[in-house]
Copies of this chain bind each other. A is one copy, B any other.
Amino acid sequence: MAKAEHNNVTLGMVRDSLIRQEDTIVYSLIERARFPLNPPTYDPSYASIPGFGGSLLEFFVKQTEAVQAKAGRYDNPEEHPFFPDNLPPSLVPHYKYPEVLHPAAMSININKLIWDMYFNKLLPSFVSPGDDGNYALTAARDLECLQAISRRIHYGKLVAEVKFRDERKDYEPAIRAQIYSDKFVDVYKR
């Protein structure tokens, strides 16, 4: 396959990043599995935080994302918040990340689906039952898992874009005609 370069992003770089990101997911799952399920982390009636109706987990994720937004995390188009509404603006100078994606792609955020999959299916499958009281640490580990999985899944947008640009003449007519050929679908399966 020909080496494609788009604003310095090549398929080889994309592939290396995907492999590294999978390591990150594995590490984050191992770190979460050091703690038992710790159900009070997810129980709104446990936390009873003044002025906040949700669980400790939701409180932790919203507050942590606010800190990270102020520090500029979501200026990077590869990062997607789980609670994008009412995030504070970045307080640091804007860094000019390479513009790889089509502007429409920037608005895609499927973190709601990822959140539901993680808490309803993935988490119960790999942690042991039990409660050791480390709810703040548990929430921090959950957020690490969520962020690693989210980055990897949304990175698919970049994979698709780089593959599209490599064979624009094949994909473009199909996209314009909204024909989902096997080849086009394959871009999203990568």
Contacts and interface: CB of A to CB of B under 8 A. Distances in A.
A133 B76 contact: yes
Contacts of A46: 92-93
A59 B30 CA distance: 29
Interface string A39-69: 0000000111110000010011001100110
Nearest to A34: B20
Copies of this chain, whole number: 2
A140 B68 contact: yes
Interface string A4-38: 00000000000000001001100100110010000
A135 interface: yes
A50 B91 contact: yes
A91 B60 CA distance: 11
Interface of A: 20, 23-24, 27, 30-31, 34, 46-50, 56, 59-60, 63-64, 67-68, 70-73, 76, 79, 91-93, 95-97, 133-137, 139-140, 144
